[in-house]
Copies of this chain bind each other. A is one copy, B any other.
Amino acid sequence: MIQELKDNYGHLFEKELINEIAQVGTFKEVPAGYTMMAIGDYIRGVPLLISGAIKVMREDKEGDELLLYYLESGETCSMTMNCCMGHTKSEIKAVAEQDTKLIMVPVQKMEEWTAKYKSWRDFVFQSYHNRLNEVLHILDSVAFEKMDQRLVNYLKEKVRINDSNTIQNTHQEIAYDLHSSRVVISRLLKKLEQMGAIELHRNHIKIIDLE
């Protein structure tokens, strides 16, 4: 575990902090598709990602979903901290986008380290900073852009996160992420195909050129 911590967090944390994390943290491996947190869950710990990616979503009362952002290696979940601080339940849902390795740190340590280590403090602030910006960008997207542009952004981000030009999703799954309907997404995807930007196949989409 120490080695993985050094590889992914060595440039962020001082040696003593790395050691403390190694002592109290527990290593976890979760498969793609695994639901790591649901709305209303109580928070047990703060995750530090080693590899893979986690998809973070918002949900309304009717169970409608909206993709917020992805967490990648070297990142943590501000929302989790958010909940710990407020001693409230989770307001988001988190699902492994890929097979993911991470270290869970008990929440009590958070405050202790915040006082003790400048590097931890900076990390937590930076994390809040990043998350706030990402939520703002999603808000921009939902408020100011039309569905065709949102779909293109979505596909680009998928390509980046999974580092592959093939997107392994059904139209229905994409519709859930964008909080739209399958028919609308199929329609817009078909338009993109006719423009030569993508190729449609059953259960996967090949990205040619989203310019």
Contact = CB atoms under 8 A, between A and B. Distances in A.
Interface of A: 58, 60, 62, 64, 66, 78-79, 81-82, 85-86, 91, 114-115, 118, 121, 124-126, 128-129, 131-133, 135-136, 138-140, 142-144, 179
Contacts of A118: 115
A140 B11 CA distance: 36
A85 B130 CA distance: 11
A87 B85 CA distance: 26
23 contacts: A58-B136, A58-B143, A60-B140, A60-B143, A62-B144, A66-B144, A78-B128, A81-B125, A82-B128, A82-B129, A82-B133, A85-B125, A85-B129, A91-B136, A115-B118, A121-B121, A124-B125, A132-B132, A132-B135, A135-B136, A135-B139, A142-B142, A143-B179
B132 A60 contact: no
The 6 A-B pairs with the shortest beta carbon distances in the complex, nearest first, are: A60-B144, A128-B128, A139-B139, A66-B143, A142-B143, A142-B142
A128 B132 contact: yes
A12 to B, nearest CB: 15
Given A115-B121, A143-B142, A131 B132 contact: yes
